[in-house]
C-alpha cells in the first residue's frame, strides 16, 4: 500500500516530486540536524489520488492521525489538549513553486478550551485571544471560502463601537466580542458552526489544500507557466513556535554573509519577545544581529554554527528566518540569499577558496549580465531620479555634464576641463572630436547601430540614442521634452545602460574590478575553450582590451580611422577623384597615416593576432549630407563665391552618383575592393609596412587581413591575389619576411551557403553577425528598432531582440552550415564571431556549441565574454 505521510526527518530532501518544494526543504533541514519545528508532510500522491477519485484516499486520515500522534509524543503536547495544546500550521507545497495556490493557516488547534491553555502557557491571555481571532479569520477565509472583508468589517465595527483606532488597543473583552461575532458570521454564511474540534479543523484544512490545486487562480497560473496538471500539491503540517514568550524568546532574519559586499559573517536583525509579523510591521526597531552575542550568547553561537552548517550543506550564502522560543532556536526557513553583483563575485570566490564549492561552481553561479554592470559607472541605485525621457541604451555607463549642441563646443569646453554632454539630432563623422571630448552623447535619432552608438561603444563612453521625446532646436540651442525646455549649459545625467535621461547631477557609483573578480576571471580562463578577442580600432582600445584580458583583436575596423578631422578631407579627395591617377595622390597621403594606425594597434596587441578589416562602409558615408550640401551651395552662389560653389558642385555630383536606396545592401565592403582595388591595395601596403617596422624593432606582430562582405569565392580569390602581390612587393622592398593570414567576414547569407568554396581561399572566417542578422531576417536594424521591433518584442513574436541575442534557429543555422562546410574544405579553418553578439552570454554559449575558435567583442565586454565562455564550456 502506498504510504502518504512522512515525518519531516523521514523524508528524502531531494524528493520534491512527492514532498513538494517546501516539504523537501523541511525534510532536508530536519535530516541534517537543524532545529526545525517538527511536523509531517502529506505527499502529492495523496493529492493526486484525491483528485482522481474525488474522495479522500482510503487510509490517508489513519496515517495522518498516526503521524500526528508521533508529533504529539515528540513535543509532549496534544492537539486539543487544554493543558499542553499543540498548535500547527498547514501549508500547501507543490513540486514547483506556485504563488497562485492556497495560503497558510496558522494556529490551527485553537478552540474555546485550548485558547485558555495557550493563555496560561504564555501568561498572555490577550495574545491567545488575538491568535484565536486570527485563526478563525484565516480558516474562515482559506478553508471555508468566506470573504476576508467580511471579517474585517466586524473588526472595524467593534473598534468603532469601543472607540479605539488600533487593533493593539483592543482588550481581552473586546477580542472575545470579535470572536463571538466571527463565529456568528461563520454560522450565518456557511450554515454551520465554526469547528471547535481540532481534528476536524485539521481534516478540513488538508482537504482545502487538495482542493486549492483546482482553484481557477492555480489553473491559470499553471497554463501560463506550462506546469503539468498532474503534479499535485503536498500538504505540510508543522508545529507552531512562538518568539513572543518573554525575554528568552526572539525572532529574526539574517544572511550568512553580507549580501551587499559579500564580506563573510552574519548580517541581519532580530527582536526579542516578538513574532515575525512584528519585525515586518516596524513598530519596534530591530537590533543588529551582532548585539545578540551579548544579549543571548548561547543562541548567538548556535546561530553561527547553524550558518556554517547551512552554507556547507546548501553550498551557498543563505537567507534565514529563525525564532527563539524560551532559549530554544528554531529555523523556519532557509534559502539562497539575493545579493549584489559585487557580493556575488566575492561570495563565489570565497566559497571556492573555503572549499565549500568548486571553482567551476563559482564560475557557473555568476550572472554575466549582472557582472557586466561592475564595469561601468552606474547610477547609484539608492538615488531618487527625475527621469526626463527614455531613449535606446546605446552604450552603457552613466555620465553627467552640461548640455552642449555642437561638437566644436564640446571639444573646446571638454579640453578646458569641463564635463559636457553632446546633444545632437544624430552624429556624423564630423562630430568625432566632440564625442571624444564629451562625457557622453544623447541623440534624438538613430538606433543601436547609429554612428553615435557605434562610436560611443567603441570608446566605452555612455550614449543614449534615438531618444525621440527630445525635440532639439539647434538654432535656439535648446531641447524640449513635452513642455519642459532644457537650454544649453543645463546639467543633465544620462544612463546609457537603461536609456534614461535625467535633469541634474545624479549620484553614481564607481566601477570596480576587485581582486576576487580578477581571480574569478583567471579561473574562467583556465576553463573555457573559446578564445576571447576584442573589437578595437585604436591603440588605446587595443590596450584596454588587453587589460581586460583579450588575447587578440578580432575586428579592427579601418573606416573609423578615415573619419578623423585630419583625414576626412583627404578621404573625400580620394572619393571625388574621377580617375585612377587622380585617386593616387590622396591614397599616397593616406598611406603613412594608415601605416601609423596599424603600427600602433599591432604594437599594443604585440604577440597576439590582430584581424584588420579593409574598408567596409559605402563611400557616401564619408561625404557630407546631400541636403546640407545643396544648402551650402545655394549660400555660396548667393555670396558669389565661385571657387567654393565649384567645389560644392563636385561634392554634390559625386554624393548624388553614390546615393543609394538601401545603403546596407549597396556598394560597400569587397564590392569597393573589386571596383577600386587601389584603395584596398593602399591599406594592404600600410599593414605590411607597419608589420615590417615592428619586426625590425623586435616586436611580434601577428597580422590577419580580413575582406568584408564577401558573397562569392571569386571576390575573395581576387582580393587574396591582390594582397599577396602587395605583400611580396613590400617583402622585397623591406627585405623581411612578412607572414600573414587572409580571411573573410561571413555576413551575408550567401557567404554561409557557399562557405565550402570560400574556404578554398580563406584561412579564417569571422561571422559578422550584425549584418548577417540584418540580411537573414531582412531587417534594417536602424529601421526595425524604431519601427516594428518594439511591437514584435511586446507581442512576443520574437522572444529576444535578434541584434542583442543571436538567433539560433535562423542565423545560427547559417553559422552551423558555414562552419561545417568551411571545415570540410579546410580542416584547420579558424572561425570566430565579431558582431555585437560576441559579448552576449547566450550568443557566446551558441558559439561554443557551434565549435567556433573565438568570440570578439567590445573591450568592455571582454570580462563578461571570458566568464560566459567558461560557463558554456562547463555546461556542455
Residues 6+ apart with CB under 8 A from 444: 391, 424, 425, 426, 466, 467, 468, 470, 471, 472, 479
Please give the full DSSP string across 283-339, using - where no structure is assigned: SSPPEEGGGHHHHSHHHHHHHHHHHHHHHHHHSS-EEEEEEEETTEEEEEEEEEPP-
User: Interacting stretch for a second copy, rule CB under 8 A, among 66-74, 235-243, 669-677, 828-836?
Assistant: 669-677
Q: Is 118 exposed, middle or buried (0-12, 13-18, 19+ CB in 10 A)?
A: buried
3-state secondary structure of 390: strand
Q: To the nearest whole angstrom, how small is the minimum distance from the Cβ of residue 449 to a second copy?
A: 10
Please tell me whether residue 473 binds a second copy under the rule CB under 8 A: no
Site track for a second copy across 819-838, x = CB under 8 A = --------------------
From start to end of 482-540, where are the E strands? 484-487, 491-495, 500-503, 508-509, 531-535
Answer for which of 279, 574, 811, 834 binds a second copy (CB under 8 A) is 811
Please tell me whether residue 538 binds a second copy under the rule CB under 8 A: no
Distances (CA, A) of 230 to 1, 71, 222, 377, 773: 21, 30, 11, 49, 41
Asked whether 724 and 678 are in contact (CB, 8 A), the reply is no
Q: To the nearest whole angstrom, how small is the minimum distance from the Cβ of residue 214 to a second copy?
A: 29
User: What is the distance between the alpha carbons of residues 345 and 73, in angstroms, rounded to a whole number?
Assistant: 47
Answer for which of 131, 372, 527, 774 binds a second copy (CB under 8 A) is 774
> Considering 834, 837, 848, 857, which one is annotated as catalytic?
834
- CB of 200 or CB of 725, closer to a second copy: 725
Answer for which of 798, 804, 805, 849 binds a second copy (CB under 8 A) is 798
User: What is the distance between the alpha carbons of residues 566 and 596, in angstroms, rounded to a whole number?
Assistant: 14
Q: Beta strand pairing status for 398-404 and 420-424?
A: parallel
- CB of 496 or CB of 711, closer to a second copy: 711
Site track for a second copy across 725-754, x = CB under 8 A = ----------------------xxxx--xx
User: What is the distance between the alpha carbons of residues 130 and 30, in angstroms, rounded to a whole number?
Assistant: 30
Please tell me whether residue 663 binds a second copy under the rule CB under 8 A: yes
Q: What nine digits make up the cell of 104?
A: 497558510
Please tell me whether residue 467 binds a second copy under the rule CB under 8 A: no
On the CB side of 528, how many CA atoms lie within 13 Å of its CA?
Answer: 29
Q: How many residues bind a second copy (CB under 8 A)?
A: 50
User: Interacting stretch for a second copy, rule CB under 8 A, among 315-323, 403-411, 532-540, 773-781?
Assistant: 773-781
Answer for which of 791, 800, 820, 875 binds a second copy (CB under 8 A) is 791
C-alpha 562: how far from chain center: 35
Q: In what order do the strands lie in the sheet with 478-481?
A: 470-473, 478-481, 484-487
Number of Cβ within 10 Å of residue 282's Cβ equals 8
Q: In what order do the strands lie in the sheet with 328-336?
A: 287-288, 264-272, 250-257, 318-325, 328-336
Asked whether 852 and 872 are in contact (CB, 8 A), the reply is no
- CB of 579 or CB of 662, closer to a second copy: 662
Q: To the nearest whole angstrom, how small is the minimum distance from the Cβ of residue 748 to a second copy?
A: 3
Please tell me whether residue 425 binds a second copy under the rule CB under 8 A: no
Please tell me whether residue 263 binds a second copy under the rule CB under 8 A: no
Q: To the nearest whole angstrom, how small is the minimum distance from the Cβ of residue 407 to a second copy?
A: 22
User: What is the distance between the alpha carbons of residues 499 and 485, in angstroms, rounded to a whole number?
Assistant: 19
Please tell me whether residue 788 binds a second copy under the rule CB under 8 A: yes
Residue 301 annotated to the active site: no
User: What is the distance between the alpha carbons of residues 73 and 65, in angstroms, rounded to a whole number?
Assistant: 12
- CB of 300 or CB of 779, closer to a second copy: 779
The residue written with cell numbers 574598408 in the block is 615
Site for a second copy in 685-724 (CB under 8 A): 709, 711-712, 714-715, 718
- CB of 526 or CB of 578, closer to a second copy: 578
Helix (H) or strand (E) holding 198: helix 198-212
- CB of 341 or CB of 670, closer to a second copy: 670
- CB of 809 or CB of 876, closer to a second copy: 809
Please tell me whether residue 664 binds a second copy under the rule CB under 8 A: yes
- CB of 641 or CB of 783, closer to a second copy: 783
- CB of 572 or CB of 776, closer to a second copy: 776
Find the DSSP H helices in 735-778: 749-753, 755-758, 769-777
Number of Cβ within 10 Å of residue 622's Cβ equals 21
Number of Cβ within 10 Å of residue 62's Cβ equals 11
Q: To the nearest whole angstrom, how small is the minimum distance from the Cβ of residue 816 to a second copy?
A: 10
Please tell me whether residue 874 binds a second copy under the rule CB under 8 A: no
Q: What nine digits make up the cell of 455?
A: 562610436
Site track for a second copy across 590-629, x = CB under 8 A = -------------------------------------x--
User: Interacting stretch for a second copy, rule CB under 8 A, among 198-206, 504-512, 527-535, 662-670?
Assistant: 662-670
> Considering 67, 174, 451, 620, which one is annotated as catalytic?
451
- CB of 447 or CB of 460, closer to a second copy: 447
Please tell me whether residue 804 binds a second copy under the rule CB under 8 A: no
- Residue 360: what are its φ and ψ, rounded to 5°? -60, -40
- CB of 55 or CB of 794, closer to a second copy: 794
Q: To the nearest whole angstrom, how small is the minimum distance from the Cβ of residue 443 to a second copy?
A: 14
Residues 6+ apart with CB under 8 A from 371: 341, 344, 345, 517, 863, 864, 867
- CB of 79 or CB of 748, closer to a second copy: 748
Q: Is 486 exposed, middle or buried (0-12, 13-18, 19+ CB in 10 A)?
A: buried
User: What is the distance between the alpha carbons of residues 476 and 479, in angstroms, rounded to a whole number?
Assistant: 8
Residue 556 annotated to the active site: no
User: Interacting stretch for a second copy, rule CB under 8 A, among 459-467, 476-484, 687-695, 779-787?
Assistant: 779-787
Answer for which of 596, 777, 793, 801 binds a second copy (CB under 8 A) is 777
Please tell me whether residue 248 binds a second copy under the rule CB under 8 A: no
User: Interacting stretch for a second copy, rule CB under 8 A, among 116-124, 204-212, 215-223, 793-801?
Assistant: 793-801
User: Interacting stretch for a second copy, rule CB under 8 A, among 280-288, 414-422, 481-489, 809-817?
Assistant: 809-817
Q: Report, as residue numbers or ranges, the catalytic residues.
A: 451, 834
Q: Which residues bind a second copy (CB under 8 A)?
A: 627, 660-667, 671, 674-675, 709, 711-712, 714-715, 718, 747-750, 753-754, 757, 771, 774-780, 782-784, 787-788, 791-792, 795-798, 807, 809-811, 813-814
Amino acid at each position: 500500500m502506498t504510504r502518504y505521510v512522512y515525518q519531516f526527518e523521514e523524508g528524502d530532501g531531494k524528493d520534491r516530486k512527492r514532498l513538494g518544494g517546501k516539504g523537501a526543504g523541511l525534510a532536508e533541514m530536519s535530516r541534517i540536524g537543524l532545529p526545525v519545528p517538527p511536523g509531517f508532510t502529506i505527499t502529492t500522491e495523496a493529492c493526486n489520488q484525491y483528485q482522481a477519485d474525488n474522495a479522500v484516499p482510503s487510509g490517508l486520515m489513519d496515517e495522518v492521525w498516526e503521524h500526528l500522534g508521533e508529533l504529539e509524543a515528540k513535543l509532549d503536547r496534544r492537539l486539543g489538549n487544554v493543558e499542553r495544546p499543540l498548535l500547527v500550521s498547514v501549508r500547501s507545497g507543490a513540486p514547483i513553486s506556485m504563488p497562485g495556490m492556497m495560503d497558510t493557516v496558522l494556529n490551527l488547534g485553537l478552540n474555546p478550551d485550548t485558547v485558555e491553555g495557550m493563555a496560561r502557557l504564555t501568561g498572555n491571555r490577550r495574545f491567545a485571544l488575538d491568535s484565536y481571532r486570527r485563526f478563525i479569520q484565516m480558516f474562515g477565509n482559506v478553508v471555508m471560502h468566506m470573504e476576508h472583508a467580511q471579517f474585517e468589517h466586524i473588526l472595524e465595527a467593534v473598534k468603532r463601537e469601543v472607540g479605539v483606532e488600533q487593533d493593539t488597543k483592543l482588550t481581552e473583552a473586546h477580542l472575545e466580542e470579535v470572536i463571538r461575532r466571527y463565529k456568528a458570521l461563520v454560522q450565518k454564511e456557511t450554515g454551520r458552526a465554526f469547528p471547535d474540534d481540532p481534528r476536524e479543523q485539521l481534516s478540513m484544512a488538508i482537504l482545502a489544500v487538495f482542493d486549492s490545486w483546482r482553484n481557477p487562480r492555480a489553473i491559470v497560473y499553471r497554463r501560463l507557466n506550462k506546469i503539468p496538471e498532474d503534479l499535485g500539491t503536498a500538504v505540510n503540517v508543522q508545529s507552531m513556535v512562538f518568539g513572543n514568550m518573554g525575554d528568552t524568546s526572539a525572532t529574526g532574519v539574517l544572511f550568512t554573509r553580507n549580501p551587499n559586499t559579500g564580506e563573510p559573517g552574519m548580517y541581519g536583525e532580530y527582536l526579542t519577545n516578538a513574532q515575525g509579523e512584528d519585525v515586518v510591521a516596524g513598530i519596534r526597531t530591530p537590533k543588529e544581529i551582532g548585539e545578540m552575542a551579548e544579549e543571548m550568547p548561547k543562541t548567538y553561537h548556535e546561530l553561527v554554527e547553524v550558518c556554517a552548517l547551512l552554507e556547507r550543506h546548501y553550498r551557498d550564502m543563505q537567507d534565514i528566518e529563525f525564532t527563539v522560543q524560551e532559549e530554544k532556536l528554531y529555523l523556519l526557513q532557509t534559502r539562497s540569499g539575493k545579493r549584489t553583483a559585487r557580493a556575488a563575485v566575492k561570495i563565489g570566490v570565497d566559497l571556492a577558496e573555503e572549499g565549500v564549492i568548486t571553482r567551476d561552481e563559482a564560475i557557473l553561479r555568476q550572472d554575466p549580465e549582472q557582472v557586466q554592470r561592475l564595469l561601468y559607472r552606474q547610477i547609484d541605485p539608492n538615488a531618487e531620479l527625475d527621469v526626463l525621457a527614455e531613449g535606446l541604451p546605446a552604450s552603457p555607463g552613466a555620465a553627467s555634464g552640461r548640455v552642449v549642441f555642437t561638437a566644436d563646443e564640446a571639444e573646446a569646453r571638454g579640453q578646458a576641463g569641463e564635463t559636457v554632454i553632446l546633444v545632437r539630432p544624430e552624429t556624423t563623422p564630423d562630430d568625432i572630436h566632440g564625442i571624444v571630448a564629451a562625457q557622453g552623447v544623447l541623440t534624438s535619432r538613430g538606433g543601436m547601430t547609429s554612428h553615435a552608438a557605434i562610436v560611443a561603444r567603441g570608446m566605452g563612453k555612455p550614449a543614449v540614442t534615438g531618444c525621440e521625446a527630445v525635440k532639439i532646436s539647434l538654432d535656439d540651442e535648446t531641447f524640449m521634452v513635452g513642455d519642459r525646455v532644457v537650454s544649453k549649459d543645463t546639467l543633465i545625467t544620462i544612463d546609457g545602460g537603461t536609456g534614461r535621461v535625467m535633469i541634474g547631477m545624479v549620484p553614481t557609483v564607481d566601477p570596480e574590478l576587485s581582486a576576487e573578480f580578477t581571480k574569478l576571471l583567471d579561473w574562467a580562463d583556465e576553463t573555457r575553450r573559446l578564445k576571447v578577442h576584442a573589437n578595437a580600432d585604436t591603440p588605446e582600445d587595443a590596450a584596454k582590451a588587453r587589460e581586460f584580458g583579450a588575447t587578440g583583436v578580432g575586428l579592427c575596423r579601418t573606416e573609423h580611422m578615415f573619419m578623423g578631422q585630419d583625414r576626412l578631407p583627404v578621404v573625400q579627395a580620394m572619393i571625388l577623384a574621377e580617375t585612377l591617377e587622380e585617386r593616387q595622390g590622396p591614397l599616397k597621403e593616406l598611406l603613412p597615416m594608415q601605416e601609423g594606425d596599424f603600427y600602433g594597434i599591432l604594437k599594443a596587441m604585440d604577440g597576439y593576432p590582430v584581424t584588420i578589416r579593409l574598408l567596409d562602409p559605402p563611400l557616401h558615408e564619408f561625404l557630407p549630407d546631400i541636403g546640407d550640401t545643396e544648402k551650402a551651395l545655394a549660400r555660396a552662389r548667393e555670396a558669389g563665391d565661385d571657387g567654393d560653389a565649384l567645389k560644392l558642385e563636385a561634392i554634390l555630383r559625386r554624393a548624388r552618383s553614390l546615393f543609394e536606396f538601401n545603403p546596407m545592401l549597396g556598394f560597400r565592403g569587397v564590392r569597393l575592393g573589386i571596383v577600386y582595388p587601389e584603395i584596398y591595395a593602399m591599406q594592404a601596403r600600410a599593414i605590411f609596412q607597419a608589420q615590417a617596422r615592428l619586426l625590425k624593432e623586435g616586436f611580434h606582430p601577428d597580422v590577419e587581413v580580413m575582406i568584408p562582405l564577401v558573397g562569392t569565392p571569386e571576390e575573395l580569390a581576387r582580393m587574396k591575389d591582390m594582397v599577396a602581390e602587395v605583400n611580396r612587393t613590400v617583402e622585397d622592398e623591406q627585405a623581411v619576411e612578412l607572414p600573414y593570414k587572409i580571411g573573410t567576414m561571413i555576413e551575408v547569407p550567401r557567404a554561409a551557403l557557399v562557405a565550402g568554396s570560400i574556404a578554398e581561399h580563406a584561412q579564417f572566417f569571422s561571422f559578422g553577425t550584425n549584418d548577417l542578422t540584418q540580411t537573414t531576417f531582412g531587417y534594417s536594424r536602424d529601421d526595425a528598432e524604431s519601427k516594428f521591433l518594439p511591437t514584435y518584442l511586446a507581442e512576443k513574436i520574437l522572444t529576444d531582440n535578434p541584434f542583442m541575442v543571436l538567433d539560433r534557429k535562423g542565423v545560427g543555422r547559417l553559422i552551423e552550415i558555414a562552419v561545417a562546410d568551411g571545415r570540410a574544405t579546410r580542416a584547420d579553418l579558424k572561425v570566430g564571431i565579431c558582431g555585437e553578439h560576441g559579448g552576449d552570454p547566450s550568443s557566446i554559449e551558441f558559439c561554443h556549441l557551434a565549435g567556433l575558435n573565438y568570440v570578439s567583442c567590445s573591450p568592455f565586454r571582454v570580462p563578461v565574454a571570458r566568464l560566459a565562455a567558461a560557463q558554456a564550456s562547463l555546461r556542455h
